[in-house]
Amino acid sequence: MPGKVGAHLLPGADPTMLGDVARLNAPVHWGHGIAMGALRDVFDVPGLSGPAASAAHFALVWGRGRRPVPSAGHRRRAVALER
């Protein structure tokens, strides 16, 4: 999945080519993780720490992290739950 998002964002990369997706998968995954980890440290600047900083970080990462999926052409499938 990270490779497809990266291929959509980088000029010259084709998200339908497995080679481009595979080449970008690890760098995009690691880059996103490092950026989000650095963002967690930024919360210490205004004095937000501990559980409050963790909650804000969680909301930002998971709220923001949902957006690249539709931009990569993926749609969530509806799942019927049986009762």
The pLDDT score that the predictor gives to residue 30 is 93
The stretches of 1-83 forming alpha helices (DSSP H) are 2-9, 18-42, 50-65, 68-71
Question: Average of pLDDT values for 62-76?
Answer: 58
Q: Number of folded domains in the chain?
A: 1
**Residue 52: inside a domain, yes or no?**
yes
**Residue 82: inside a domain, yes or no?**
no
Q: What is the pLDDT of residues 17-66, one digit of tens each?
A: 888 888 888 998 899 889 888 888 887 777 777 888 888 888 887 776 55
**Residue 26: inside a domain, yes or no?**
yes
Domain encompassing residue 20 = 2-71
**Residue 81: inside a domain, yes or no?**
no
The residue whose two tokens read 């490092």 is 34
Question: 7 Cβ partners below 8 Å, 6+ apart?
Answer: 13, 14, 15, 17, 20, 21, 24
pTM of the model: 0.59
Question: Average of pLDDT values for 4-22?
Answer: 85
**Residue 58: inside a domain, yes or no?**
yes
**Residue 77: inside a domain, yes or no?**
no
The pLDDT score that the predictor gives to residue 17 is 83
